[in-house]
Amino acid sequence: MEPVIVIGAGLAGSEAAWQLARRGIPVTLHEMKPQKMTPAHHSEWFAELVCSNSLRSNQLENAVGLLKEELRRMDSLILACADEHRVEAGGALAVDRHSFARAVTERIRSHPLITVVEGEVTAIPPEGNVIVASGPLTSDALAGAIGELFPESHYLNFFDAAAPLVTFESVDMDSAFFASRYDKGTPDYINCPLSEEEYDAFWSELCTAQEAEVHGFEDKQVFEGCMPVEVMARRGKQTLCYGPLKPRGLTDPKTGKEPFAVVQLRRDNAEGSIYNLVGFQTHLKWPEQKRVFSMIPALRQAEFVRYGVMHRNTYLDSPRLLDRYYRVKGQERICFAGQITGVEGYVESTASGFLAAVELARRLEGKPAVDFPRETAVGALALYISDESVTDFQPMNVNFGIIPPLGYRVKGKRNKNAELSKRALEYLEHLDLS
């Protein structure tokens, strides 16, 4: 059997190579380190964690905790190494990043069916099965080759700004209303009104909130093309009222009048379970986003499934390009995995590499694909990035908002999430992953 080519030995590429090899499929794993480094990487090891050493919550009441447990039960290399090299972090799974990366590297390099080739890949191989897991800092040469694979330029985006996302069920609709400006079209927006007093307090905190650091591998030019909401606020007390918080053409049904200011939420997925804060691209630290944006009355108890981010990041417009197995539509020999597909986060990247490899291995063995259902975290994530109804696609972490509801009421958010996780793991038990 011809080896599968995996490009990139980050979390997704390492997981993909391992899953293929443990199923008897030979792999050629290409990694440009240490011959060529990005500004974000500092070691020769595979699966290097370049930002936090935390893989986030380990609790089943959290969607990423569920995703971890699913991967554990399916013999994920990354989760096994993370568990072996964990450090105390309360309810989160954090690791000693150096021993973790060394462990992943040693297992990959010692597997008899994996051949590691060092050096930069500058083109998509013209034949054979390929998994591209080159990450959000894909080299310029390979990014150019990916662009040639998708000639329409909008298929390869440079992600520079995204507004926060919240779940619909966490929005206080007693403090909000559906409407479109001047009643044009259908009332698709959730409108969150603020009184003058509420706006003044919100504006004051927004102006003084702490911003995140700009890392060396981020492009400061990003912020010139898309102004953060906090920068806009500092230009004057009324600036937001003539920008993203403009109340014109919106009538609060409770008062019959235009509010002093309005924050609009726009549906982010077909099910209407997730909404984004319109015009709220931001570079604030995540805890600051939670603190300040929760001052908006309708969002006091909001569940943020993604915080706003502004940084350089290469990713695909996956709903137009990839299927639920992370394969290129019409060129199924080529798969993508990791953050370049639009999944956000360490564990999510691992899951994409896992699923792409499992599907490819089964196809090579003449077996039917494993259709992970939407009720599982692995399946929900894959179906989200391939959902053509998502028109304004942005990278996102796994969350319960993309998983179907239970269909019955459970009191308490933690209890409900625990039930969703229980259901997912029951589904997982009945899948044939051999």
Compute the Cα dihedral for 171, 173, 174, 176 and give only its sign: positive
Does the annotation list 11 as a binding residue?
yes
Taking the C-alpha atoms of residue 177 and residue 172, their distance in angstroms, rounded to an integer, is 9
Taking the C-alpha atoms of residue 113 and residue 22, their distance in angstroms, rounded to an integer, is 8
Phi, psi angles (nearest 5°) of residue 16? -65, -45
Helix H or strand E segment including 359: helix 346-364
> b vs e for 391-401, b when ≥16 Cβ sit within 10 Å of the residue's Cβ?
eebbbbbbbbb
Compute the Cα dihedral for 83, 84, 88, 94 and give only its sign: negative
- Beta carbons within 8 Å of 68's beta carbon, 6+ residues apart: 55, 58, 79, 93, 347
Does the annotation list 10 as a binding residue?
yes
- Beta carbons within 8 Å of 430's beta carbon, 6+ residues apart: none
CB 71 within 8 A of CB 78: yes
Measured CA to CA in angstroms, residue 274 lies from 86, 150, 168 at distances of 32, 29, 5
Phi, psi angles (nearest 5°) of residue 311? -165, 170
Q: Determine if the peptide bond prior to 136 is cis (ω within 30°).
A: no
Does the annotation list 308 as a binding residue?
no
Taking the C-alpha atoms of residue 11 and residue 349, their distance in angstroms, rounded to an integer, is 6
Measured CA to CA in angstroms, residue 398 lies from 31, 64, 180, 245, 385 at distances of 27, 6, 29, 29, 11
Among residues 111, 105, 109, 41, the alpha carbon closest in space to that of 78 is found at 105
Taking the C-alpha atoms of residue 432 and residue 23, their distance in angstroms, rounded to an integer, is 13
Does the annotation list 8 as a binding residue?
yes
- Beta carbons within 8 Å of 97's beta carbon, 6+ residues apart: 48, 49, 53
Q: Using N-to-C axis directions, what is the helix angle for 11-21 and 346-364, rounded to 10°?
A: 30
Phi/psi region, residue 398 (left: phi>0; alpha: psi -120 to 50; beta: rest), is beta
Does the annotation list 12 as a binding residue?
yes
Taking the C-alpha atoms of residue 379 and residue 377, their distance in angstroms, rounded to an integer, is 5
Binding site listing: 8-13
Binding site listing for FAD: 8-13
